[in-house]
Amino acid sequence: MLEAFGLSDPGCVRANNEDYFINDTECGIFILADGMGGANAGERASQLSAETLWQRLRDVAHQDGDDVLESAFSEANSRVREEAGTVPELEGMGTTLLVARDIGKSRLQLGSVGDSRAYLVSGGELSVLTEDQTWVAEVGSRLGLSDEALKKHPMRHVLTMAVGTADQLRVFSRMVELQPGDQVLLCSDGLHGVVNEKFLRDTLESEKNLPDKCHYLIDAAKAAGGPDNVTVILIQLT
């Protein structure tokens, strides 16, 4: 059985929150989107993409192939692009999009576009389950730059892929088998961009319950300056 809790906060700098999440434990669908765009465009992109993906995956609950996931992402992408093309103030909007989906037998199917991340804590070890679609991950790391240089590089926040910005998407996908007690953390870069992995692991390994862990992680991001919106969904197999 999966238990989950989600929480979102605008952070310490931004007045609005362009993150959006869906925590549907009944259907076993957990979605996080981090929007971008002027005015209210980021907020609209994240909500529209997340709700489109949720509706599509809910309708095909008993199908678990990669093609099903890619089709659902494609539909979300089309909806965002269509609305951006018809509403002038939403032109250019886009969003990251991350989903963890219960496909039975203690398995989660993951899909991701952008740089929102999924982590697994199992047996006291933390591992990253997704791959960032960013300039740093796909270009900068190949140039031989140090980790410190990459952290300060002016291109460090540039995405190489986002929902709504191109006709075709590259969707990262994988399947994860969970053991009882394992936890999966979904988060926007408002968390993983300012809080180190040791802190993430120690928090998830603590005796706190899921809501307290989520609050603790967001408080840590805000204590580190909270330069961006921060959203977390924590899932545990009991």
Which sequence spans correspond to the domains of the chain?
2-237
The pLDDT score that the predictor gives to residue 150 is 54
CA dihedral 217, 235, 73, 35 (to 10 degrees): -20
- pLDDT for the residue 197: 97
Q: In what order do the strands lie in the sheet with 117-122?
A: 2-9, 230-237, 183-187, 117-122, 125-128
Report the candidate in 120, 124, 108 with the shortest Cα–Cα distance to residue 234: 120
- Name the token pair of 195: 């809080």
pLDDT of residue 66: 86
- Which pLDDT value is given to residue 237? 98
102 near 28, Cβ under 8 Å?
Answer: yes
Spatial separation of the C-alpha atoms in residues 130 and 174, rounded to whole Å: 8
Output the tens digit of pLDDT for each of the chain's 238 residues: 999 999 999 999 999 999 999 999 999 999 999 999 876 899 999 999 999 999 999 999 878 888 999 999 999 999 999 999 999 999 999 999 999 999 999 999 999 999 999 999 999 999 999 999 987 776 765 666 656 655 665 666 789 999 999 999 999 999 999 999 999 999 999 999 999 999 999 999 999 999 999 999 999 999 999 999 999 999 999 9
The domain made up of 2-237 has a fold known as Phosphatase 2c; domain 1 (3.60.40)
3-state percent breakdown (helix, strand, coil) of the chain, nearest 5:
35, 30, 35
pLDDT at 160: 92
Q: 220, 197, 214: which is closest to 30 by C-alpha?
A: 214
- Give the pLDDT score at 144: 62
**What pLDDT shows up at residue 152?**
61
The pLDDT assigned to 62 comes to: 75
pTM: 0.94
Element (H, E) at 128: strand 125-128
Contacts of 198 (CB under 8 A, 6+ apart): none
Give the per-residue pLDDT at 85. 94
Residue from 92, 94, 101 nearest 115 by CA:
94
